[in-house]
Amino acid sequence: MTKPIFILNGPNLNRLGKREPEIYGATTLAEVEAMCREAAGTRPVRFHQSNIEGEIVNWIHEAIDEGAGIIINPAAFTFTSIAILDALKMFPGPIIELHISNIHRREAYYHNSFVSKIATAVMAGFGASGYAMAVRAMEELIAK
C-alpha cells in the first residue's frame, strides 16, 4: 500500500479566497485541495485544515505512523508553536514547509519560523499554485 502525503493547513486558511486576496489570492482551500490531489496522481493525500493547534499536532502524530511525507502550511503557528515543532521533530520522512506569500518580504514578525528549523525544504511566495509544486517536490523527496 502506498503511504499518503499529509497536507496540513493552519489557522485562517479556511478563509482562502476571501481573506486578504491581495496577499493570498482568490483561490479557495477547496480548490487548493483539488490541485493537490491532481498533482499527487495515484498517491493518496490526507488534506486537513484547522484553526486549533492540537488538531494539527494530532494529524502530525497520524503522519508519523502512516505518512510518507508532510507538507505543512502552519500559517500563524509557524511563528508561535513549539508543540507543532516538537511533533514534526518526530516525523521520520521529508517535511516541506509551505507559505502562499513570501514571508520574508513581510513584516519582521513573519521572519522567524520554528518549522524551518526542522523542515527538509521551505517554499514561499508561489501563491496557491505552490501547493501543487510542493506535492511534486515531495514525490521526488520520497523517491530518494
Determine the average pLDDT of the residues in 115-136.
Answer: 96
CATH number of the domain to which 134 belongs: 3.40.50.9100
Which of the following is catalytic: 24, 61, 104, 131? 24
* CA gap 23, 61 in Å, rounded: 31
pLDDT tens-digit profile of 64-119? 999 999 999 999 999 999 999 999 999 999 999 999 988 887 777 766 789 999 99
pLDDT tens-digit profile of 35-62? 999 999 999 999 999 999 999 999 999 9
Which of the following is catalytic: 48, 99, 104, 111? 99
Domain that holds residue 114: 5-143
CA gyration radius for the chain?
14
3-state secondary structure of 108: helix
Count up the domains in the chain and report the number: 1
Cell of 101: 506569500
pLDDT bucket at 19, cuts 50 / 70 / 90: confident
Cell of 109: 514578525
Q: Which residues are annotated as part of the binding site for substrate?
A: 73, 86, 100-101
Determine the average pLDDT of the residues in 118-139.
Answer: 97
Could you tell me if 109 and 40 are in contact, meaning their C-beta atoms sit under 8 angstroms apart?
no
Residue 24 annotated as catalytic: yes
